[in-house]
Chain A
Amino acid sequence: DTGVSQDPRHKITKRGQNVTFRCDPISEHNRLYWYRQTLGQGPEFLTYFQNEAQLEKSRLLSDRFSAERPKGSFSTLEIQRTEQGDSAMYLCASSSGQVYGYTFGSGTRLTVV
């Protein structure tokens, strides 16, 4: 297992386009998190899955954002009708539970032009 993988690493898109990011967690980890980080700030929580169930969504996650984890393994985060304010680093992390710590992916850097 090579850790948490995110794809793509970088994405440049035009305003109004849809984008989709993928996260492959560590295979034994049942919990998967998405966070968003803008320049100079700490990451902010977006959403969380336990297995295939989406258990929590931040109010930051507008109706243009949707996330899935269909088989409890990899997850996708889709942003529809992208806006310049969506430009950020999108981070995925996975864990086995609170006491076992987190493993982060390298992130997907989105630039909306």
Chain B
Amino acid sequence: KNEVEQSPQNLTAQEGEFITINCSYSVGISALHWLQQHPGGGIVSLFMLSSGKKKHGRLIATINIQEKHSSLHITASHPRDSAVYICAVIVSSGSRLTFGEGTQLTVNP
């Protein structure tokens, strides 16, 4: 079993829909990252969380440390949001990232 599990693996939505991507992890962490990866490979950091909730534009990320769970929400989704969204954690004792396998999001116009 992976230390970081994401669901769903694939998600197709219509433009304007509210989207939720979930991430569960099984280890103690010092921080959790949500990352976005477009075709061609470049990865952009969206959020880094250690508690609570963060919001940036149409994106909201939450984390529940006790339940070892995080969610990424996208409000009013748009085709340009189509990408792979990756959850990654920093294990408490370390500094490197451990990644989930990613969620492929496709938003259709």
Q: How many A-B residue pairs have C-beta atoms within 8 angstroms? Tell me.
A: 61
Q: Does A111 have its Cβ within 8 Å of any Cβ on chain B?
A: no
Give bound CA distance, A106 to B90, whole Å.
21
Q: Are B96 and A99 touching (Cβ within 8 A)?
A: no
C-beta contact mask, A46-67 vs B, less than 8 Å → 1, else 0? 0010000000100000000000
Closest to B48 in A: A101
Q: Are B99 and A56 touching (Cβ within 8 A)?
A: no
Closest to B31 in A: A98
Give bound CA distance, A31 to B30, whole Å.
17
Q: Does A26 have its Cβ within 8 Å of any Cβ on chain B?
A: no
A interface, by DSSP: helix, strand, loop or mixed? Answer: strand
Q: Are B42 and A107 touching (Cβ within 8 A)?
A: yes
A-side contacts of B48, CB under 8 Å: 101
Q: Are A104 and B98 touching (Cβ within 8 A)?
A: no
Choose, from A17-25, A36-44, A68-76, A79-87, the stretch at the interface.
Answer: A36-44
Assess A106 versus B86: contact at CB under 8 Å? Given A31-B95, A44-B99, A99-B31.
Answer: no
Assess A104 versus B90: contact at CB under 8 Å? Given A45-B96, A45-B98, A99-B31.
Answer: no
Q: Number of A residues contacting the other chain (C-beta, 8 Å)?
A: 27
Give bound CA distance, A107 to B37, whole Å.
11
Residues of chain B having any CB pair with chain A under 8 Å = 4, 30-31, 33, 35, 40-45, 48, 86, 88, 90, 94-102
Ranked 8 nearest A-B pairs via Cβ = A42-B99, A104-B43, A107-B41, A106-B42, A101-B48, A42-B101, A45-B96, A89-B41
Residues of chain A having any CB pair with chain B under 8 Å = 31, 33, 35, 37, 40-45, 48, 56, 89, 91, 93, 95, 97-99, 101-107, 109
